[in-house]
Amino acid sequence: MVTLTDIAAEKVSGFLADQEPNDSAGLRVGVRGGGCSGFQYALALDEKREGDHVFEDHGIRVIVDDASLQYVTGSVVDYKESLMGAGFEVNNPNVVAACGCGSSFRVADEDPSCGAPA
């Protein structure tokens, strides 16, 4: 399961309200290969597709594809605002290492990319 903080749910709800009405739309939380640590998060407004897992939190549909589920289970999506900017942040209990910039991560039992030490 993937959950949202109050502020993240408020932001996603606002983004969804700006879109054309669609009962199957929600926040897609996924991962893709890349970055110096192996994986990067992919967050987007999207619709449910075949094979997706759908969770509901704060009245928001959270959509996770089957391949990403093992990497994001237990994660909490938050929204942060600071002098450096604003955006969504994923607090993931499965992460064992992350790059310095915070945009990529590695989980246990996965080989790091880019020659990073294990």
| Mean pLDDT of the region 110-116 | 48
72 burial class (0-12, 13-18, 19+ CB within 10 angstroms)? buried
Q: Lowest-pLDDT range, 6-10, 13-17, 50-54, 111-115?
A: 111-115
CA distance 95 to 54: 22
Domain extents in the chain? 3-107
CATH number of this structure's domain 3-107, picked from the four choices 1.10.240.10, 2.60.40.150, 2.60.300.12, 3.30.428.10: 2.60.300.12
Is the pLDDT at 74 greater than 90, yes or no? Answer: yes
66: left (phi over 0), alpha (psi -120 to 50) or beta: alpha
pLDDT at 100: 56
pLDDT at 77 over 70: yes
CA distance 31 to 19: 24
Question: What is the C-alpha separation between 105 and 81, in angstroms, rounded?
Answer: 21
